[in-house]
Amino acid sequence: MPDPIIFHIDVNSAFLSWESCYRLQQDPDAVDLREIPAVVGGDQETRHGIVLAKSMAAKKYGISTAEPLVSACKKCPNLTIVKPNFKVYVEYSNRFIEILKRYAPVVEQFSIDEAFCDMTGTENLYGDMIAFANFMRETIYKELGFTVNIGVSENKLLAKMASDFEKPNKVHSLFKSEIQEKMWPLPVGELFSVGKSSRVKLQALGIRTIGDLAKTDPAILKSHFKSHGETIWNYANGNDMELVTDHQQPNKGYGNSITVPNDVTDAETAKMILLSLTETVSARIRADKTYISVVSVHLTDYEFHRSSRQTTLLSPTNITENIYRSVCSLFDSLWDGTPIRLLGVQTSKASAEDSIQYNLFDYKKNEKLEKLDSAIDKIRMKYGEDSIQRASFIGAKQRHMTGGLNKEKRSTQKR
């Protein structure tokens, strides 16, 4: 078996780069936003919203991603603010992924502006992997006009860490043999999955670098951070067993997520949002007359750090209560208290009713819950999604079915 080789490709200042490419394509004489203090985000007239992407010139003024535009403008009064054009960004993202698929046997898109490529076994075809990563980087720039960073390693975690080294337009390696030299001296807050809240707690324990974290007794970390402590200890030591996958599996999944208007800072609010998401996801599963076996929860904090956790159920289900119970358990083990910007619920490993095995111990309880969910589904289909909802959502700001099945079905009038 050949040694694994993983690339992580990350677009530099994606939204701003894509906006610049688009404008220059429309008008070659247009100002290149990447060469001036400029940001993408919000509205230039009202100065509302946050910075979604910034130029290197804007960064020199101390402007950071996710910073309020009002604050950014105080730092740089002549700052150029561009409203986001997501349709254009999706088009550039698709073209970016198409180039990766041209060369990589397996491509996993991680977000709109980054992806993992499993290059294992391609050395005989492409030669030196660092040199080929540079070839891919140059090809993307030549064909699409924007720059990327590429991290090269033997697993996804280290490849992603490597791509975050010096920017822009660089290729960096970070193999396990290099982590003591390249990764351990870094501040602990730069480790993937260590948010601001975790960083503060770690520093209070005297853990200031990734190397300090790697050398800490995992039992101590687990006592302070629960299972997340064991996870970040493994990350600090370069351990990541997750494989790159193109997700082209026969069993589809069902998911839903929401970016909240205000950062969520308490578990009760977060779980209300997760219930709203679970209501919609579960209804979709039942509408397809199927059952799922895997549940996962995804979080993005206010600093745009992403984290997720998943579990495999004892038996397949499409019952809202069962799925939500797993969602809450996952959330409790995942969240470290850092303010949340995005919440998501995802399910997978779907199977048809005639192919599942029921858990006999919960059969009677599940039978009642299935009948209840079925009755609720029928009422909503006939009278609209808003015709029946849980008491906890009455009078609440949170919608009871985020990202519902069909906006037209929200009418309470009979059809």
Question: Domain with 187 in it: what CATH number?
Answer: 1.10.150.20
139 and 9 both lie in a single domain: yes
pLDDT tens per residue, range 90-99? 899 999 999 9
61 and 196 both lie in a single domain: no
Residue 242 lies in a domain: no
The dihedral sign for the CA sequence 155, 112, 284, 391: positive
Name the active-site residue from 108, 114, 154, 279. Answer: 114
48 and 95 both lie in a single domain: yes
165 and 30 both lie in a single domain: yes
Residue 385, pLDDT score:
58
Res. 331: pLDDT tops 60: yes
Question: Can you point out the beta strands (E) in 239-350?
Answer: 254-264, 290-301, 306-317, 340-348
377 and 402 both lie in a single domain: yes
7 and 153 both lie in a single domain: yes
pLDDT tens per residue, range 264-305? 899 998 998 898 899 888 888 888 888 888 899 988 888 778
Number of domains in the chain: 3
281 and 232 both lie in a single domain: no
Is there a contact between 40 and 52 (Cβ–Cβ < 8 Å)?
yes
124 and 212 both lie in a single domain: no
Residue 202 lies in a domain: yes
Residue 402, pLDDT score:
63
Q: Which structure tokens are listed for 364?
A: 């009677």
Structural domain including 337 reads 254-410
273 and 222 both lie in a single domain: no
CATH number where 385 lies:
3.30.1490.100
Q: Distance between CA atoms of 4 and 155, rounded to whole angstroms? A: 7
Residue 249 lies in a domain: no
The overall average pLDDT reported for the chain is: 84
pLDDT tens per residue, range 379-402? 766 666 565 666 666 566 665 566
367 is catalytic: no
Residue 396, pLDDT score:
61
Strand order in the sheet with 106-111: 106-111, 114-118, 6-11, 148-153, 171-173
Among 174, 198, 216, which residue terminates a domain?
A: 174
Q: Model confidence at 164, in pLDDT bands (50, 70, 90)?
A: very high
Q: Which structure tokens are listed for 238?
A: 């370069």
Residue 248 lies in a domain: no
